[in-house]
Each structure stands twice: as structure tokens, then as C-alpha cells.
Amino acid sequence: KAGVTQTPRYLIKTRGQQVTLSCSPISGHRSVSWYQQTPGQGLQFLFEYFSETQRNKGNFPGRFSGRQFSNSRSEMNVSTLELGDSALYLCASSLLGGSSYEQYFGPGTRLTVT
């Protein structure tokens, strides 16, 4: 089975711009979670989607949004980028989601905001 894929792998944006990141989960997995990873804060949960529905959201401002499509692929969007949004954005897919199932992480998208 192919693993989780994320595109693009690297991105450089300017403050104020917006960005869309994409994640394709493992075939058959219906849950996709997004995380922001920074050296200072570690892995922080952004949101989780299952069957096109957001089931939970982390403590991030409304500039961070996401969606999931009927084929389980997911996108996350960050609007009005700030310098502090520079991070590695990881998505993880899981069979059914939730804490009872292991998560398979993608390679991440490295976002740099200048």
C-alpha cells in the first residue's frame, strides 16, 4: 500500500498570503488529522476529519481551516499568513480515527513564511 502523501513538500510564502496544503491518506483510511510541528511547541493538533466531517479542532485561530473530500483526501488552508506559522505541517491518516487507532504520518510540508 502506498503511504500518506503530502504536497507540496516545501513552500515559501510571504506574510499576509494564504496557502493550501494537500494530504492523500492511505487507501481505505477514512480519518485524516493535521498537526503543526515546531521546535518550541512540538506536535500540536490542528483538526481531524472523518467522512468529510470535522470531528475535532485544536486551539488554533480561525485562519486555519480544512476540509475533506469524498475520497478522503484532505486539504488545509492558512489565510493571512504570519511569521509564526512557519512550521512543519504533518497529516496523519488512520483507519477510523480516534485515539484507539495508530496514525500513519505523511512526510510533511515545510512552510516558511517570510
Q: Footprint of another protein on this chain (CB under 8 A)?
A: 31, 33, 35, 41-45, 48, 50, 55-56, 58, 90, 92, 97-100, 102-108
Of 17 and 56, CB closest to another protein: 56
Of 62 and 102, CB closest to another protein: 102
Distances 10 to 34, 37, 86, 99 between C-alpha atoms, Å: 16, 14, 11, 29
Of 22 and 107, CB closest to another protein: 107
How many residues comprise the chain?
114
CB of residue 43 to another protein, shortest distance in Å: 4
> What is the distance between the alpha carbons of residues 36 and 38, in angstroms, rounded to a whole number?
7
Per the structure block, which three cell numbers stand in for 37? 510541528
Per the structure block, which three cell numbers stand in for 59? 486551539
DSSP assignment letter at 51: T
CB of residue 39 to another protein, shortest distance in Å: 10
CB of residue 40 to another protein, shortest distance in Å: 9
